[in-house]
């Protein structure tokens, strides 16, 4: 016990680390018990699901649209 006390009170950084560890532990345990949910930095949106596959589909769709536009266009204009 004395060794632990000496270790924690060795210098200012060990005191800071010990204090912040206890602080965060209490916060996390209480948050887990009471079921607090993250709300601040939550970018999930059911109406806008952004994935790289969407970009690929979007690119494919654009290419298909362009091809269909060119195929239906008047060759004289081209």
Partner 1 sequence: MNSLALNQFLALLYREVLENRNLFIGAPAVLAVLLFVFTAWIVSMAPEQELATAIEYLSVIFDGLSPVDMASIFMIPAIPFMMMLYFCGLIYLLNALYQDRKDMSVFFWQSMPVSNAKTVLSKVVTIGLVAPVFYVAILFVVYLIAVLWLTLLGFSYGVQVAGLGYMFLAAVASLALVYLSAFVTSLWLLPSVGWLLLFSAFAKRTPILWAAGVFILIGFLEDFIFGSQYLANWVESRSNPNQYFIYEFSDVTDRLLSYDMLFGVLVGSILLIGAIFMRRFID
List contacts with partner 1 (CB under 8 A): 9, 11-12, 15-16, 18-20, 22-24, 26-28, 30-32, 36-41
Q: Which is nearer to partner 1, 37 or 49 (CB)?
A: 37
Identify the residue whose tokens are 């924690």: 8
Q: Which is nearer to partner 1, 11 or 45 (CB)?
A: 11
Residue 30 CB partners (closer than 8 Å, separation 6+):
36
Q: Which is nearer to partner 1, 15 or 61 (CB)?
A: 15
Shortest distance in whole angstroms from residue 53 CB to partner 1: 22
Residue 9's nearest CA partner among 20, 19, 21 is 19
């Amino acid at each position: 016990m004395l060794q632990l006390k000496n270790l924690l009170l060795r210098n200012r950084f060990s005191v800071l680390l010990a204090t912040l560890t206890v602080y965060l532990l209490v916060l996390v345990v209480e948050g887990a018990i009471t079921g607090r949910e993250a709300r601040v930095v939550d970018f999930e949106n059911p109406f806008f699901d952004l994935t790289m596959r969407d970009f690929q589909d979007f690119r494919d769709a654009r290419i298909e649209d362009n091809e269909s536009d060119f195929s239906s266009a008047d060759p004289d204009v081209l």
